[in-house]
Structure 1
C-alpha cells in the first residue's frame, strides 16, 4: 500500500519544479520604476503619450482620473481592476445594461440601491431589456469601450 502511494506521489513531486518554473514571475521580481531602462520606461509611457496627444479634449478628464486613482486605497484599486476585467468580457448589450444600472444607482440612496438590486435579480432577460430601454444611461463617450 505504501509503495502504491509513493508511486503516485513521486510523479507529482517531479512535476512541481516544472510548474513553478513555468509560473509567471511574482511582482517583487520585477524592477522598481527607477531601475527600469529608458527603453522600458518609454515602452510603458508611449501609449499614454499618444492618447494625450491624439485627444486634447480628454486631457482634463485624464488628469482627473489619475488624481482620483492616486486617492484610492489598495482594496479600491483591486475592486476597480476586477470591474475592468468583468467589463472587457461583456458584450455590447451587457455593457448597455451596466451603464443604465450604474446611472440609475448613482441617483439612489442605500435603500433605493438595495431595492433596485433585488428587483433586477428578480427580472428575466426580457424584463431587464425593457427596463434598460425605459431607463437608458446618459449618452457619453466611453473610454472603456476601446
Structure 2
C-alpha cells in the first residue's frame, strides 16, 4: 500500500508540476524564480516521512531537490489528513487495484463522461450520490438489487428518462422501474 502511495506522490511530482505553476508577469513560472531547495538526505527525514516514503529509500538521495521537496510537501499533506480520510483513500486504492483492466477502463470512461456534463447536472448527480450513500444500508441494497435485476435495455430506458426528465429538485431520482416479466436477459456486468 505504501508503495502505491509513494508511487502516486512520485507521479504527482513529475514534470507537469513545473507547468502547473502560475507565471509571473514576465512569463517565468514562480517555481523557477524561487531559490532551488537544498537536497534533503534520507536520514534528515522524520520517522513518519521515512515510513511513508520507504519505497523510495534507495533512490531518495539521487532525486532532484525540487522533486524531494515536492514529495515531502505531499507526504506532509498525507500525514495531516484525518485517519478516517486516509483510510478511505486506502480503501479506494485497494478497490482500484482489485479491478480488472476493463473495469478500470470503464471507470475512466465514466469519469470522463461525468466531467463533460454541464455543471448543474454534475451537481445533481453528486447530490443524488450523497443521498444514496446516506440511506440506510438495507435501502441501498434493495435499490442495488433492483438495478441489477434490470436488463441493459431497461437500464438504458431509465437513464434516458432521467436524462430527459431530469432529477426531481432536491431529491433522489425515483428508483428504476421494476423489471417486467420476460423483459430480456441481463447482460450488464453490474
- TM normalised by structure 2 equals 0.38
Structure 1 or 2: larger helix share?
Answer: 1
- TM normalised by structure 1 equals 0.46
Whose relative contact order is higher, 1 or 2, with alpha carbons under 8 Å and at least 6 apart? 1
